Structure 1
Amino acid sequence: MDFFGGIRHFLFLHVLINGIFTTLEAKEEVLLDMKATGVDLGWLPWSPNQGSRWEVTQKSLNGSQFYTYSICNVGERDQDNWLRTTFIQRRPSVSRVFVELQFIVRDCHSFDGDSLTCKETFNLFVSEADADVGTTFHKGQFKKVATIAPDEVANKMEMHINTETKVVENLSQMGFYLAFQDIGACVALLSVRVYYKTCPATTKSLALFSETVAGGESQPLKEVIGRCVDNAYSEDVPRIHCAMDGEWMVPVGECQCNPGFEEVEGSCKECQPGFFRAEGSNDKCEPCPANSQGQKSGASFCPCVDGFYRATTDPITGPCSGLPSAPRDLVARHSQLSPSELVLFWQPPENTGGRNDITYSVECQRCEGSLCQPCGERIRYNPANTGLTDTKVSVSELDPYFNYTFTVEVHSGVSVFASEATARSVRPPASATLVTSLHYTDPPKITSMRLVDRDSTSLSLSWDISPRPRVQSQTIRYELAYRKKDNKLDVTTVVVLKLEKSSVQISDLSPGTAYLVKVQALGTDGSRGVSSLEEQFETLSEGHLNKTAVILAAAVAGAILVFILVVIFLLHRRKRNAHTRQGPEDTYFSSPEQLKPLKTYVDPHTYEDPNVAVLKFATEIHPSHITKQKVIGAGEFGEVYRGILKGPGKKEVAVAIKTLKPGYMEKQRQDFLSEASIMGQFSHQNIIRLEGVVTKFKPAMIVTEFMENGALDRYLRDHDGEYSSHQLVGMLRGIAAGMKYLSEMSYVHRDLAARNILVNTALECKVSDFGLSRVLEDEPEGTYTTSGGKIPIRWTAPEAIAYRKFTSASDVWSFGIVMWEVMAFGERPYWDMSNHEVMKAINEAFRLPAPMDCPSAVYQLMLQCWLQDRSKRPRFGDIVSLLDKLLRSPDSLKTIADFDPRVSIRLPSTSGSDGSPFRSVSEWLESIKMSQYSENFTRAGVVTMDQVLQMKNEDIKNIGVRLPGHLKRIAYSILGLKDQTSTLSVFAV
């Protein structure tokens, strides 16, 4: 039966040529296209009975060849006719292909007569192979893909082209064959196209993503990692997902142009000169702000032009400000409240430089003739002489008849640059200067009178006046009157002397006689000042000189004897201390030339009155000099503040202020101030410095230097993994130097721990918290015994726990624990073990294992500090020397001590703290103190512990863990989780 004969066949081809679409979307990659090939494809027809088979038909149109395969054996029984394609190779990443068929199927009812086995469907099969098998055909190797049925069938008059697309999934071998099985239909294959879908290479949010083969049903969304375009960066790795239909979906993360670049059509271009773009901005390049300029392209900010500046608190994107001009119209007026007080007034500067943070400072110089010098601390300013926001200030305690020069300087947020400008001879700070003087019309007052010298017939006296005049400009005259105290005569004789200086020698007096003397100042206009009170002075008797000589000689001899005894005592004590704690290991740890400093610590508890100890060792501060700013903590006795200390004539100093809370007992006050009595005796760069105390006002305060970074343990936990071993050893060296100083003063700390070490911005460590500290008794053992009180078990040496005997050697043990804390970035010593478990473990010779990445030399020093025999532990002088050697030889820190993550991280193999398996990834991360990465794991799709166990170092990096210390902690924890041991103990029972 000729299905494709005559005109109908030509019409069919015409429909075919115009009906088959030929456009390929960019996301489809073709493996086979029957129509586009234009040659005989050489497909293999096969039939078990060698009967009718699929036939190839060639037609030509406009010079192009078209081939079709057809079969039409509807009048025969038991049809099983196969048409196999040639070997179709696939890419390794392609596991899913689409088979698009265009075909015509003849309507069985359109045939004349009976059709014995007519069907209107045929079947699609596939067979995979690693190589081309040639013409060998085994239909048993094929598996069915689908039954192909037409939407519309053809008849004698109309031809209908059907299009079907089927999916072949889970391909895994080098290539495959397609086969079409006819079981009795009249069908013509017009086109077979095999393709797979890809997500095309694209740029999204400034991230480049490469072309990616779309996934299948088993992976509907395939994650693709991208990279930022040139001159762009991203906080998180940019990712996107390729969907089954070749569309990009679910982008995660985005890139931003580097500072100095802006986004232009999917790329980052440099800002043009005169424009800038700051860090963290998503906007376009902006013009340079006022008084700034950008001369180069790619600017992240615009520098200020000459003469204009930005304050440290000003945004880098803001305009630049000029220095303010000088204050105007500075004048001085006498105060009505006090004759020794002036009030200065001035007008604000005409030009503020465009700023509103204007303040003023006042400087004073006192001139006598041509000699001028600073006024010093004797004068007082109200409200202050610096940081003034008002345009007036009162100055008191001035002396009359002197010339004073007052200079008022104006400051703003950019005035810090004025000194730099002065150094470059560009522009000095703006100021206004006033020269004035203070004069009194009333005679001065006699404030005190004193005996300068005396003998049996004369008295030498002098006195002070207030206010004191300038002698060069005015001579003050005085009237002095004196008389005998007990005059037995009826007439009292008063002698009056006129004087022109504030001293006198009264002669021709009676031996052994008391005289009453008073002085009065006289004004130039005849006025009289306030007279002094009568004061009594007595001449010596005639035999007093001989007695005095004898007493003086005896006193000198006694002083010499006491000095000799003190020298002998000190030499004996030094000799005895030099032999204390000597043992066979001393030659390894210390030099015999080590000597203690001459200064020795004095225990304030030995004073009968603790207040005397405070006044002896600490400076009293007036509370008006202290400004509290912010509560930063709570101590045992009250709140702790950050604040400012501004003494008279001194610069402002940042301080920490401990306060004594109301309602205290006197014993609590004494204990509170005793720490100041201790700190006041120390002066070392690695010991917290005491600024002073407030005891005469409430609340009582202890004022110390302020350490910006706070306690060492918390600071290290907040910066886990950020510092190198060399930097950490440098911190330990500072702590050891401070402890060396304390031990040489015969002092035991008793509570040395990282929580009691404070850190400043320069990473300088200082020993603090002397609440548990005590002095060493003067005995060979050098111990302090206490009958009660809490002991920090994890940091305390075993002999101190057992017998409550503390020595510098027990401080060395504690220093070893501090070393471990520092190298472990603030980890808690002995983890979650109880105090009882800690003591039991130490007595059974357990020692803390080496922290992760700890240099071997540092860990060996820890072990030396933890020797059971305290006489064999190193001294602090030896520790400082060893740490200095390590710091001078950085290569010595490269050898890392053995690290067991199962012990050091304290993780059961697959369980939480209660022994049960970790229920979630977040619970596991919390157990190793890495909770901040929970969201990273969730975004990466790692939501079960089974997925965690499959992770490698590269996987951990890819989810956003960048710090080396955090990366190692997570990796070591996973290693511990993989251990099949069900429980893990730090020491064997």
Structure 2
Amino acid sequence: MDTRTATAELGWISFPANGWEEVSGYDENLNTIRTYQVCNVFEPSQNNWLLTTYIDRRAAQRIYVEIRFTVRDCASIPSVLGSCKETFNLYYLETERTVSESIKGVEYWANAPFLKVDTIAADESFSQVDFGGRLMKVNTEVRSFGPLSKGRGFHLAFQDLGACMSLLAVRVFYKKCPSVVQNFAFFPETLTGAESTSLVIARGSCIPNAEEVDVPIKLYCNGDGEWMVPIGSCSCKAGYEPDNGNVCRACPQGTFKSSQGAGLCQQCPLNSRSTIEAATLCGCRNGYYRGDMDKPEDMCTSVPSAPRNVVSVVNQTSVLLEWHPPRDMGHRDDLSYNILCRRCHSSERRACQPCDDSVEFVPDKQGLKETRVEISKLRAHASYTFDIQAINGVSNKSPYPAQQLSINITTNQAAPSVVPIMHQVSSTSRSFSLSWQPPEQPNGIILDYEIRYYDKVEWVLNSSVVQSETPSVVLEGLRPGTGYVVQVRARTVAGYGIFSKEMLFQTLTDDEYKSELGQQLSLIAGSLVGGVCIVSLVAIAIICTRRRQLKESVYGDKLQQYNTGGGVKIYVDPFTYEDPNEAVREFAKEIDPSCVKIEEVIGSGEFGEVYKGRLKPVGKKEIPVAIKTLKVGYSERQRRDFLSEASIMGQFDQPNIIRLEGVVTKSRPTMIITEFMENGALDSFLRQNDGQFPVIQLVGMLRGIASGMRYLAEMSYVHRDLAARNILVNSNLVCKVSDFGLSRYLEEDTSDPTYTSSLGGKIPVRWTAPEAIAYRKFTSASDVWSYGIVTWEVMSYGERPYWDMSNQDVINAIEQDFRLPAPMDCPVVLHQLMLDCWQKDRNARPKFPDIVSMLDKMIRNPASLKAGSNNVAPGPSHHPLLDRGAPDLSRVSSVEDWLAALKMTQYRDSFLGSGFTSLPLVTQITADNDVHYISPHCFNVPAEHVFSNGKGKIDWSLKLLVSENRIDLYF
């Protein structure tokens, strides 16, 4: 509906009759318009209604109303008797059909069946009308309402409670995302969602001749009618190319496109052609082929011609062949050679047989890249034919045999074969004699034998060599009782054969050897005695060293925490690296983007969208993950700050810290991949499940958060932004600390002090410790303050801390010692923990290990978690002897002052004598401490309720009944 250009009567219904009045008038441009006006400011108790005609919503779920109006300034109206207003109310009524005018009685309007949209006030009001009758100050306001689902349409209603105003024009509209072709997929016209922040999914379909690349194919329509966050895409099929981004056109004849994608059609490669449209491959012309590994865009090639100019060099039973490459390589660079060997009994080829398997080819007989080969172990005085084939990647495609070059050769005299096994004939202390059989294949007359031998404990390079004309030898000059390794080979006119295998032979011992052996045994015995003495001295030294180490172990344990090699792991700030990318490579695992599958948008972050997806590492099962992406058009600084969170997370390994799976930095989009937490942020999860969990389960969640923070504190890492919104919850209700890496600074504008990151993200001060606000002093103690706020959030099921107080009001209240009260049904022990975390003196706050210990005690003692229970579980930061219920200890500085405040000065010597000379030591009293009688005067119980065990120690099993104003003793 749009009344801006209406000139006929609008026909709206007004009640009562003397209320709204339809009149014709002029707008500020002197155009004729129909308006409704009312100005009963001189009469009290105005309630004037104006109802529009029926408006069909056309399936829209959210409606926008643009109102142009003028309002008279009440101060400019003289003698106003009634209650003058400068506002009016806008309502709507969902219905299936138009509302009849006949039922618009007083009772109907009194019950006001409409739903209110808003009270609308003018930005500018006017005090008088110019001489042309035009209203000079026109206001334009836009409101929206929804969701609409109860009828086909609706009425708008305007309520005046005593203003002097005119409705100049009303425009009613809804928003939609137009139909669009994006990523070669068609998306239909889509209405926006019921809320202004809603994202409506639109499913897409591939345009003709396109196929899906990623599924599902969808776009998100936001509340402003804009498309965003494309998921999945299509691309042109093989044989089709993109045209203007929204059409896939067939490749014309003579061109092809071999694969799906954004590529264009290409001209057919050399020696190929296509005779049809939409060709995916160009066929090779006759006599040309493509190899098995060739790509469609590669040219078609042919087989090579035969090798040329072979030369042979025969050396006894070996031959060296060399040749020139073929003149025609077939337009390929994968040429290789095969050698075919045949032994021939006559000059006829058919009398040839394949060579024995014993023939050796160096480097090989198939797939040779060089134009030479050495062939050995041929038979002597034998004829051979060698065929040299030239082949390439398409030789197996040709119907014709590979072209080859053949050569015939005859071998010369061969060297003798290997000598069989040797035998020892005799042996003395300095010599032994050996014999052997001649080689099975002497290949001529044996001229002599060469014998090589060496001491088995010496290296073969120290060997000795002798010759013998017979198949026997006597080796002399040997050492008694020594083993020798011996080998032998035969020689003919063709040269030496191969050495026989190694054999071991031993010399005998004689009296001289025995005498020498005796001397050696004496020497060994002396050495053993000396060795025993040395071992004894070493043992004594080890014992002394061990005692000294035990004595110094207390200091050694302390020093270990500074040993980065094997001690406590310390957090490393990635911004200390000269190249921040080096920190990413060191602490974060790079993931192949092919292992990552994006499924759907689950939110948006400071740097880009956050998705749910799947990660399938190589060799491992698929797992759900959360994927943070870096938006397009980022700067290098944004990329560095984005990846700094991964550099930080990658250093942590603890069950209550969000786990980093890895990063994708070598392709776009840049991604940080973490484990997927099914229940999302803790604050929203608690609000959705208000009152659904027992207290002990909430304490279990708090224990997990404290455990994670204890780990961070031990790593010397300060979180700075601990809040329930930054705690993630998985399907097992395990809470994990997240959101790392943003540097924060205090704004100059003290009217709204917030922490501001280098990228502009704001963090409310209501989670921040006073010293961090005032002095930017962030420590683990300030994280403890934040943990107290998180505890309050958990126990209040996601309530906003300090409610609707402004940031400045929060700061002022904390300075005046205001602390958040206990949430409904919160046990006293948990509220006391919060108060301990909110101590103004940061040194008085508990440490995270103390908090974990206290929560463990609560879990082990569920009775302490009953609402209203004052059974406070003691801990290092909340010791009973220093309880808040005791007399004012704020000015106490010594044990004497403390005992005086408790009216126990008569036991001063007992405490000081037991070693408790300072207040910190008093807070560490345990069941093993020797503390004498403690006065019962500070308790509302009889003195006989305090007992001694007769040995000057407190009865540690004592249970005391206490009143409201007391300190508790737990032993």
Bucket of the pairwise TM-score, normalised by the shorter protein: 0.3 to 0.5
